[in-house]
Amino acid sequence: MSLLQLSGYLLFTAFVCYLIALVLFGGAIKPAKVTNAPASAEKWGKLAITVTIIGFIANIGYFITRWIHTGHAPVSNMFEFTTAFGMFIIGAFIVSYFMYRVPALGIVALPIAILIIGYAAMFPREISPLVPSLKSHWLAIHVITAAMGQAVLAISAVAGLIYLLKHVNLKKDSMERFFLEAVMFSLVLVVGFIVSSITFNAMGYSATYQYTNKEGKTGVIEYHNPALFGMNEYVEVKLVDAEKKKYEPVVEAEQSFQPLAEMPPIVNAKKLTTVVYSILFGTVIYLLIRLIGRRSISAIAQPFVQRVNSSLADEIGYRAVLIGFPIFTLGALIFAMIWAHEAWSRFWGWDPKEVWALITWLFYAAFLHLRLSKGWEGKKSAWLALIGFAIIVFNLVVVNLIIAGLHSYA
């Protein structure tokens, strides 16, 4: 067995452990009618965190074995980075659990990590030679530190979601109720991405298009789902000589599903197509859940957080930002600038990824300012934590997948 195969098995083991631990955490917090409910819940909690730790150890094993096999930190593409991000969220959750002993954190943190790892699994896992800008130790330092900071900040969103699920009145129509359900809907969209990717992979769909990039040069891109959006000046082609990488246009009678709209060079039309399919599939899944459950997802989740101490949830969210913000500052700004200077001979270039890293930093700086000087606690703090994590996810999904830039290699 090669190290690459072993890393794959370890990642799968971690994923399964997280799924099992999620069920066990459900047993640790679900109200019971028996007289020894607290003792029973404690046993479930101990078993759940034990399984989570086993999964986390397997996850670290995946990370290390893939690192040894590739010879560089496994954070150089979307599959590797997103998998590492999910792993760090689990690590941050484990630390938080032993600090505060709140099983409800597992009910929210584990599904988020599971969805992120599942999201990562839909990207190509092949190991490709690194582009010159990635051949730097500062890449590993920058990306790993930034991912760790984002993972700790994600715990603030977990605590914030728990707080809101407990305190938002879901029986009364309000903007709070609407936005809380929108958060739950966004989580289902990740499931939609996974389901759509599996569906089109099972169908074996493939279509190749030639396009013109921002520099006016032609390139070739392969779609694995019916193209809703085409790259700039696209034309469908087929491979006629693999050695010479020669393509020729496909005759009209043999063309596949043609794109409905053409995107400018700044937009990655293939990845935008993937995002739209994720939204479509996710919406269908969301409606099915609503139909089967006969109530909103927020209402389905609310009973699981009723026993959580509200003040403690608020404190966890605040402490997570206090810890995560300086780590993120080091990784996403300071170390990133050092790497950028080494890779491109400049500290800052207003690349889309850099801009959104700065936006994320400014938002959490504002979060701490409002918390410390204006006394924004409780619901206000919880909503800010969710908005902050939404910015992180936007950076991970939209900026990485749709907007073209120097980080498009990911």
DSSP letter for each residue of 156-188: HHHHHHHHHHHHS-TTS--HHHHHHHHHHHHHH
* Region of residue 51 (phi > 0: left; psi between -120 and 50: alpha; otherwise: beta): alpha
Average pLDDT, integer, range 250-258: 83
Question: Residue 55 in contact with residue 90, Cβ under 8 Å?
Answer: yes
Beta strand pairing call for 218-223 and 229-230 = unpaired
β-sheet with 207-212: strand ranges across: 218-223, 207-212, 235-241, 246-249
> Predicted confidence band at 39 (pLDDT cuts at 50, 70, 90)?
low
Query: At which residue do the structure tokens 């699981």 appear?
Result: 304
Question: Residue 52 in contact with residue 111, Cβ under 8 Å?
Answer: no
Residue 402: what pLDDT?
64
| pLDDT tens-digit map of 303-331 | 888 888 999 999 999 999 999 999 999 99
Question: Residue 81 in contact with residue 75, Cβ under 8 Å?
Answer: yes
| pLDDT tens-digit map of 194-244 | 899 889 888 888 889 888 877 778 888 888 889 899 888 888 888 887 777
Selection from 189, 209, 217 nearest residue 278 by Cα? 189
Task: Please state the pTM of the whole predicted model.
Answer: 0.84
Question: Residue 403 in contact with residue 268, Cβ under 8 Å?
Answer: yes
Residue 407: what pLDDT?
52
Average pLDDT, integer, range 78-85: 91
Euclidean distance between CA atoms 93 and 381, whole angstroms: 19
Contacts of 314 (CB under 8 A, 6+ apart): 159, 163, 377, 378, 381, 382
> Predicted confidence band at 409 (pLDDT cuts at 50, 70, 90)?
very low
